Amino acid sequence: RKEVEQDPGPFNVPEGATVAFNCTYSNSASQSFFWYRQDCRKEPKLLMSVYSSGNEDGRFTAQLNRASQYISLLIRDSKLSDSATYLCVVNSGDTGRRALTFGSGTRLQVQP
Amino acid sequence: DVKVTQSSRYLVKRTGEKVFLECVQDMDHENMFWYRQDPGLGLRLIYFSYDVKMKEKGDIPEGYSVSREKKERFSLILESASTNQTSMYLCASRRGQGGQPQHFGDGTRLSIL
């Protein structure tokens, strides 16, 4: 089983739609969680951190469910510019020196 | 704002050549990382470093080595390039331990002919 698993998609949604991605992780000791966004042929960029109580940044909401070991990303009122691959990222909670573990990504295509 | 700079955006080399990929960060981050990214395989960690002159193998270190002589610079070396090392190479840095996110450079698209 992969440490971090995501549905690869693609998720094809119309502009204005609400879309949600889930991501599961296998290490129950994981302590830090992030969502990154990666555009085609570009580097991953931090979208938002995920906090235990859930957090919101504009149209984006991230949630953490430790009991079920998954995190989610909700995008409201989708824009064409939201089209990208969204990477779920987990810190395994060891000494912290280890790199973050990246999921393979979920591709979102927002259509006009 | 964090700046991670990779020396080349595109690079073409020949089989058997020794290849150097350079990465510099300007935020005094302790941790630096090298990944490669291939279609369908996601990001795979090659090597990382948590301090000057310190290095640890990642998940796919074979065929690579690294050098961290200064805190701000982390170099990836392909000792004898092979065609299966054609890939997108991404450098990242991160402050401290645990809960901090990683910041990536623009990436180097390396083609080995």
Strand pairing report for B87-94 and B31-38 = antiparallel
Preferred mutation among B6, B36, B43, B57 to probe A, highest tally of A CBs within 10 A: B43
- Whether residues A43 and B101 touch (CB distance < 8 A) is answered with no
Per-residue pLDDT of A6-20, as tens digits, reads 999 999 999 999 999
Q: What is the mean pLDDT of chain A?
A: 91
Residue B2 amino acid letter? V
For A7, the 3-state DSSP assignment is coil
How many whole angstroms separate alpha carbon B82 and alpha carbon B93?
Answer: 27
Mean pLDDT over B90-110 rounds to: 89
- Whether residues A31 and B31 touch (CB distance < 8 A) is answered with no
Residue A53 amino acid letter? S
The distance of B59 to chain A (nearest Cα, Å) reads 10
How many whole angstroms separate alpha carbon B68 and alpha carbon A48?
Answer: 29
Choose among A32, A46, A97: nearest Cβ to B99.
Answer: A32
- Whether residues B90 and A43 touch (CB distance < 8 A) is answered with yes
Alpha-carbon distances, residue B81 vs B6, B23, B70 (angstroms): 19, 19, 25
Q: Is the pLDDT of residue B99 over 80?
A: no
Quick check: A46 contacting B, CB < 8 Å?
yes
What pLDDT, on a 0 to 100 scale, did the predictor assign at position A13? Answer: 97
> Phi and psi for B83 in degrees, rounded to 5?
-65, -30
What pLDDT, on a 0 to 100 scale, did the predictor assign at position A94? Answer: 56
Contact predicate A54/A72, CB 8 Å: no
- Whether residues B92 and A99 touch (CB distance < 8 A) is answered with yes
Neighbouring residues of A95: CB distance < 8 A, sequence distance ≥ 6: B97
Q: Is the pLDDT of residue B5 over 70?
A: yes
Mean pLDDT over A20-43 rounds to: 92
Of residues B30 and B97, the one with the higher pLDDT is B30
* CB–CB contacts below 8 A, A to B: 59
The distance of B17 to chain A (nearest Cα, Å) reads 25
Percent of chain B scoring above 90 in pLDDT: 81
Per-residue pLDDT of A77-103, as tens digits, reads 999 999 999 999 998 755 545 678 899
Percent of chain A scoring above 70 in pLDDT: 93
